[in-house]
Chains A and B, each alone.
Chain A
Amino acid sequence: MSSSLRFRAAIVSVAIFLVFIGAWHLATRSTGSVAAMNPEYAKLMGLNATQGKSAMPGPLDVGAKLWEHIRQPFYDNGPNDKGLGIQLAYSIARVAIGYLLAVAVAIPLGFLIGMSPLLSKALDPFIQILKPISPLAWMPLALYTIKDSSLSAIFVIFICSVWPMLMNTAFGVSAVRKEWINVARTLEVGNVRRAFTVILPAAAPTILTGMRISIGIAWLVIVAAEMLVGGTGIGYFVWNEWNNLSITNVIIAIFVIGLVGMILDQILARFTRMVTFPE
């Protein structure tokens, strides 16, 4: 039953994909009239003008270009022209550093906030104000104070991934069932041991949910941050190709960004499943 459902779903997915590609292909076919112009003038004009080609690339153009990128993902032609693989590696490295810093700060702090009602109340106004600030709004301030563009990008990742983790950790810790803590107390378990053996496992699913939200946001933000700062990374790649008005490469970048985002999310989803427990 379930395998047949999966099979049928796959068929529908493939059908949707084919319809989408077909519609895209039809919509971007060259429709404009082929202009009659003298050959010398035609040589100076692009395909749009001479062959009435649509400015929007079709699926075949994108496929061919994608194949080119896949065949050579790690070439390096100087500071402004690197392969897609290298650009992705830069972005992932930045996200990883900023994100791990956020984990290192958010989880202990979230623990403290969750365990102490006093701290929770005291820090609440600050968190409430800082949480809704768009990460990119930090960028000019970061560039101005840190004075280093790649550190600024990492800082922006840090600042945007810290809040969901902090909130979720605090919530998860404070929502641990009182019975379990009371049992631990009855058994005279020390504070540290209680935190690690009772509260942490109990709050882990919520904490990991927070981490999963954060990684999603971090990946959203890195593209925008790199477009702003330039230099390296997938966001810079998009900006550079936009500068060249190469929609084909922009589409490829969008696809790759989606793919990597999905992979990052799936990794954390797997971790979440590992720590989830039946009550």
Chain B
Amino acid sequence: MSTFDNPFDPNRRLSSFGCSCGRHATDAEHQAALQFQATPAESDEQRYEGVVASAVMRAMFPQDAARRAFLKSVGAATAVAAVSQFFPLKTATEVFAQGAPLEKKDLKVGFIPITCATPIIMAAPMGFYAKNGLNVEVIKTAGWAVIRDKTVNKEYDAAHMLSPMPLALTLGAGSNPVPYTMPAVENINGQAITLALKHKDKRNPKDWKGFKFAVPFDYSMHNYLLRYYLAEHGIDPDADVQIRSVPPPEMVANLRADNIDGFLGPDPMNQRAVYDNVGFIHILTKDIWEGHPCCAFAASKEFVTTMPNTYAALLKSIIDATAFAHKAENRKQIAEAISPANYINQPQIVLEQILTGTFADGLGNIVKQPNRLDFDPFPWQSFAIWIMTQMKRWGQIKGDVDYKAVAEQVYLATDTAKLMKEVGLTPPATTTKSFVVMGKTFDPAKPEDYLNSFKIRKAS
């Protein structure tokens, strides 16, 4: 259920598999069928209205089935009218769009130069921050630990982080416990497993025993997805292969030097490995878990509470930029905006392949996967719970974990909700959803059962 879907469509998709209307086997077919329907151009006003209305609908009908039934029985137009009766959608939208006087206009936001940071970066050159009255400097940062320190030191007002990082920090895994907050997911999908060219014929993971892999950080979706993928194919990621933590640019260099056999890394490094003719793309992470979160937008709790208006404007800019990036037709323009040295510093053609999803796979094929990288900001707390099950699965955290409490504390669906109330909105009542990872359904209400269902896990 994307934040950008039409909230009054009874057929909106509930799961990420199949298509939304259920009449097509895949989403691609559904999209193809949709091509013949005209879609009106969306203005900012309409988009804000969509976000607000979506929140209201979720609040009024937390159950997907009930909402569907209601919309089906009365029709969308009546539903809009009915909801507007109880809730001043127009007024709320205006309040949301205008915001209140800003406490601080000049902000610094840190980022790591990977395509996951796209909304944060592009909002600067494309004027999304300026539109909300902010003067934001986006600053390239040398590593995740430095991002963490500079956010704690208040050199940055907000920053780009890996979605498991705020959880790890809060839980005190790999560092002293520091309560962290994450109001928005940056991107979904957008990673890949890249292998060295010499492994062209070893496409079955069962043949990968003894391989050396790289991931960017221990507490990253990359690490959990690679481990999950290997384990599903019967490879114990701790015993049968070696997984190292390697900064993204060094992944390509190490692959070239024959130091590693492959990596699950952030883009643009996967496409860059293809572009430099050292590797090929084995599988996109969207084929492991369609719609998985990756990077995130994090702000210090103090910033959120002491400067609520600035924070709201910043978050609005991010929602704006994310909505803009979500649309396929804007992707080429975005690639052009973020490729200069000041931002991602990569050849434009490389970024274009990642953002448009039409790319060379390194084996001589041109692959078309429009969803290769997508953007959807809502910080589902069930994402956090899944991440914690994997942290526990691989021994990063031990003992009993209060999954729900930590998820609520860190994934600011609740704090964002508070903020939304301040600007006159009714926030969504549901903050969790279930999803499927490699054919296995994850129920956020039963994390321990899910965890215990895995054969391959670290003994704890």
B253 to chain A, nearest CB (A): 7
B143 neighbours in A (Cβ, 8 Å): 228, 230
A230 neighbours in B (Cβ, 8 Å): 139-143, 146
Is B396 part of the binding interface, using a Cβ–Cβ cutoff of 8 Å?
no
Q: List 10 A-B contacts (CB under 8 A).
A: A49-B275, A55-B256, A149-B149, A228-B142, A230-B146, A239-B142, A240-B341, A243-B345, A244-B249, A244-B341
Quick one: CB contact mask for B353-395 with A, threshold 8 Å, 1 for yes?
Answer: 1000001100011100000000000000000000000000000
The 9 tightest CB contacts between A and B, nearest first, are: A230-B142, A49-B277, A81-B342, A44-B360, A46-B275, A147-B153, A48-B277, A78-B342, A81-B341
A114 to B253, CA, bound (A): 50
A242 and B342 contacting across the interface, CB-CB below 8 Å: no
Contacts A45-B274, A45-B277, A228-B142 aside, 16 further interface pairs with beta carbons under 8 A come to: A44-B349, A45-B275, A48-B277, A77-B340, A77-B342, A78-B137, A80-B139, A80-B140, A80-B342, A81-B341, A149-B155, A229-B146, A236-B142, A239-B142, A243-B113, A245-B272
A35-43, A200-208, A256-264 - the one binding chain B = A35-43
Is A271 part of the binding interface, using a Cβ–Cβ cutoff of 8 Å?
no
Query: Nearest CB to that of A77 among chain B residues?
Result: B342
A149 neighbours in B (Cβ, 8 Å): 146, 149-150, 153, 155
Is A79 part of the binding interface, using a Cβ–Cβ cutoff of 8 Å?
yes
Quick one: CB contact mask for B326-357 with A, threshold 8 Å, 1 for yes?
Answer: 00000000000000111101110110010000
Question: Hey, which bits of chain B sit against chain A, CB under 8 A?
Answer: 113, 137-143, 146, 149-150, 152-155, 248-249, 252-253, 256, 272, 274-278, 340-343, 345-347, 349-350, 353, 359-360, 364-366
Also in contact, A245 and B342, with CB within 8 A (given A45-B360, A46-B276, A236-B142): no
B366 and A244 contacting across the interface, CB-CB below 8 Å: no
A57 to chain B, nearest CB (A): 13
B274 neighbours in A (Cβ, 8 Å): 45, 49
Report which of A55, A239, A243 forms a contact with B276, defined as CB distance below 8 A. Answer: A55
A4 to B366, CA, bound (A): 65
**Central interface residue in A37, A80, A149, A228, by most chain B CB within 10 Å:** A80
Is A148 part of the binding interface, using a Cβ–Cβ cutoff of 8 Å?
yes
A78 neighbours in B (Cβ, 8 Å): 137, 342
Query: Nearest CB to that of B150 among chain A residues?
Result: A149
B278 neighbours in A (Cβ, 8 Å): 48, 55
B342 and A79 contacting across the interface, CB-CB below 8 Å: yes
Number of A-B contacts (CB under 8 A): 102
B150 neighbours in A (Cβ, 8 Å): 149
B340 and A81 contacting across the interface, CB-CB below 8 Å: yes
Report which of A80, A228, A229 forms a contact with B343, defined as CB distance below 8 A. Answer: A80
Also in contact, A245 and B253, with CB within 8 A (given A46-B276, A48-B277, A148-B153): yes
Report which of B142, B248, B350, B366 forms a contact with A227, defined as CB distance below 8 A. Answer: B142
Is A231 part of the binding interface, using a Cβ–Cβ cutoff of 8 Å?
yes
A230 to B364, CA, bound (A): 37
A240 to B353, CA, bound (A): 22
Is A144 part of the binding interface, using a Cβ–Cβ cutoff of 8 Å?
yes
A240 to B146, CA, bound (A): 15
A14 to chain B, nearest CB (A): 33
A239 neighbours in B (Cβ, 8 Å): 142
Is A143 part of the binding interface, using a Cβ–Cβ cutoff of 8 Å?
yes
B153 neighbours in A (Cβ, 8 Å): 143, 147-149
A125 to B155, CA, bound (A): 37
A230 to B111, CA, bound (A): 11
| Interface residue tally for chain A (C-beta within 8 Å) | 33
B366 and A41 contacting across the interface, CB-CB below 8 Å: yes
A241 neighbours in B (Cβ, 8 Å): 345
B277 neighbours in A (Cβ, 8 Å): 45-46, 48-49
A240 and B256 contacting across the interface, CB-CB below 8 Å: no
Question: Hey, which bits of chain A sit against chain B, CB under 8 A?
Answer: 37, 40-41, 43-46, 48-49, 55, 77-81, 143-144, 147-149, 227-231, 236, 239-245
A245 neighbours in B (Cβ, 8 Å): 249, 252-253, 272, 276
Report which of A49, A79, A144, A231 forms a contact with B149, defined as CB distance below 8 A. Answer: A144
A55 neighbours in B (Cβ, 8 Å): 256, 276, 278
A222 to chain B, nearest CB (A): 14
A227 to B142, CA, bound (A): 7
Also in contact, A40 and B366, with CB within 8 A (given A79-B137, A148-B155, A149-B150): yes
Query: Nearest CB to that of A228 among chain B residues?
Result: B142
A240 neighbours in B (Cβ, 8 Å): 113, 140, 341, 345
A122 to chain B, nearest CB (A): 35
A233 to B373, CA, bound (A): 33
A242 and B349 contacting across the interface, CB-CB below 8 Å: no
Query: Nearest CB to that of B152 among chain A residues?
Result: A147
A48 neighbours in B (Cβ, 8 Å): 275-278
B154 neighbours in A (Cβ, 8 Å): 147
B138 and A79 contacting across the interface, CB-CB below 8 Å: yes
A77 neighbours in B (Cβ, 8 Å): 340-342
B360 and A229 contacting across the interface, CB-CB below 8 Å: no
Query: Nearest CB to that of B140 among chain A residues?
Result: A80
B155 neighbours in A (Cβ, 8 Å): 148-149
A141 to chain B, nearest CB (A): 11
Query: Nearest CB to that of A44 among chain B residues?
Result: B360
Report which of B249, B275, B364 forms a contact with A243, defined as CB distance below 8 A. Answer: B249
A49 neighbours in B (Cβ, 8 Å): 274-277
Report which of A37, A41, A229 forms a contact with B142, defined as CB distance below 8 A. Answer: A229
A49 to chain B, nearest CB (A): 4
A44 and B353 contacting across the interface, CB-CB below 8 Å: yes
A81 neighbours in B (Cβ, 8 Å): 340-342, 345
A250 to chain B, nearest CB (A): 11
Query: Nearest CB to that of B114 among chain A residues?
Result: A243
Query: Nearest CB to that of A244 among chain B residues?
Result: B345
A227 to B249, CA, bound (A): 14
A150 to B382, CA, bound (A): 39
B366 and A46 contacting across the interface, CB-CB below 8 Å: no
A143 to B272, CA, bound (A): 33
Report which of B113, B343, B360 forms a contact with A41, defined as CB distance below 8 A. Answer: B360
A272 to chain B, nearest CB (A): 36
Query: Nearest CB to that of B358 among chain A residues?
Result: A44
B276 neighbours in A (Cβ, 8 Å): 46, 48-49, 55, 245
A143 to B152, CA, bound (A): 10
A128 to B196, CA, bound (A): 48
A48 to B197, CA, bound (A): 13
A49 to B360, CA, bound (A): 11
